[in-house]
Amino acid sequence: MTGAIAYISRDSDGPPWKAVLEAGLGPVDFRPLGALGRLEDIEVALAWKPPPGLIATFPNLKLIVSLGMGVDHLLADDRLPAGVPIVRIMDEGLVGQMSEYALFWALRHHRDIDKYAASQRARRWRPEPFVDTLHRRVGVMGLGAIGQDVARKFALLGFPVAGWSRTPRTLDGIEVFAGRDRLGTFLGRSDILVDVLPLTRDTRGLLDAAAFAALPRGAYFINIARGGHVVDEALLAALDSGQLAGAALDVANTEPLPADHPFWTHDRIALTPHIAGATNPRTASPAVIENIRRRRAGLPLLHQVDPQAGY
């Protein structure tokens, strides 16, 4: 397999990717989205939110690489060519960024920074009641590479940490809940809830009115996964009622978020434009290069996706 590598992303034309791929593979026929040329030449597609149906037009495609650790943006296309393996990146740099984001908003809530900012604006010197770290329980939904890193870093700071996943896992120092029948118990002990789940048929809309009601009153919600997990109306109702003290949202059901969406102006929502973790070609490329080599040699792939499971 020595054909062209297509870079399919609207974010940029991919010069950093060309450089790191050539450092590992030698000269490559690298083609950005605006200059794909003969589609018959393309054998590898590096893709992030590709136009629906585009990948199916590459008749000799041998490998699809998600440029994110999530793959729902690919699996949403029902015209993906059957039999072409899909792999996702494993990017330690991105994992670290995601954990930083979750820790920042959790600590901001835990230490009442927004309340102190309001006091500063009012020129009011007023200490807030302190909550011991040992009494602020963190729950991490999703225990893949990102979720495990998030959970371990919270635990290192002294928070009691639990995780929830579809299937049982074992993590040192982390209480783990598995399966839908254990979700309510997990939520009930999560004063800070961090969502890092993949978006699948089973997780879409998982965070609904019942889920938010299961959290302790005054809980804080951080979403660095996918907006599709959340029923927006349920989240807004939980915030308005005081069931949730606040939410930090890096993702939304519709991105970019429409200008008239109430998330923009809600005083208990902190909103960022899907920047919690950005793929870094330097740290993500080694596994991509290895998978291209493995595909050329007919060897088993790393981080291959099960389209039926959704991750």
- Contact indicator for 110, 137 with CB cutoff of 8 Å: no
Sign for the pseudo-dihedral over CA of 167, 198, 188, 134: positive
Q: Which residues are catalytic?
A: 226, 274
- Contact indicator for 68, 30 with CB cutoff of 8 Å: no
Phi-psi domain of 290 (left: phi exceeds 0; alpha: psi -120 through 50; beta: other): alpha
- Contact indicator for 263, 274 with CB cutoff of 8 Å: no
Per DSSP, which regions of 150-279 are E strands? 161-165, 175-178, 192-195, 219-223, 244-249, 269-271
Residue 154 CA neighbour count, 13 Å, CB half: 35
Sign for the pseudo-dihedral over CA of 128, 150, 14, 73: negative
* Cβ neighbours of residue 258 closer than 8 Å, sequence gap 6 or more: none
Angle separating helix axes 113-121 and 92-110, nearest 10 degrees: 60
Distance CA 176, CA 195 (A): 15
- Contact indicator for 165, 139 with CB cutoff of 8 Å: no
